[in-house]
Amino acid sequence: MYDFKDCFLYAQFDSILVITSDTAFTSYKKAHFKNCTATLDAVDFNTNCILGFKVRSIACNAAFHRNIEIDSVAKIYKYTVSVEKCAGCGTNITSTNIVVAPQIPMGYKLQFVTKTQ
The C-alpha atoms of residue 68 and residue 48 are separated, in whole angstroms, by: 12
Query: Residue-wise over 27-37: b if at least 16 C-beta within 10 A, else e?
Result: ebbeebbeebe
Q: What pLDDT, on the 0 to 100 scale, is given for residue 29? A: 85
pLDDT (average), residues 41-49: 94
Q: What pLDDT, on the 0 to 100 scale, is given for residue 10? A: 54
Query: Does the pLDDT value for residue 9 go beyond 60?
Result: no
Task: Name the average pLDDT for the chain.
Answer: 88
Per-residue confidence band for 69, with pLDDT thresholds at 50, 70 and 90: very high
Query: Does the pLDDT value for residue 35 go beyond 60?
Result: yes
Predicted TM-score (pTM) of this structure? 0.87
Q: What pLDDT, on the 0 to 100 scale, is given for residue 51? A: 95
Residue 80: closest CA among 91, 92, 67, 93: 67
> In this predicted model, which residue has the larger pLDDT, 94 or 108?
108
Per-residue confidence band for 38, with pLDDT thresholds at 50, 70 and 90: confident
> In this predicted model, which residue has the larger pLDDT, 79 or 95?
79
> Looking at the chain, how many residues does it have?
117
Q: How many percent of the chain have pLDDT more than 70?
A: 92
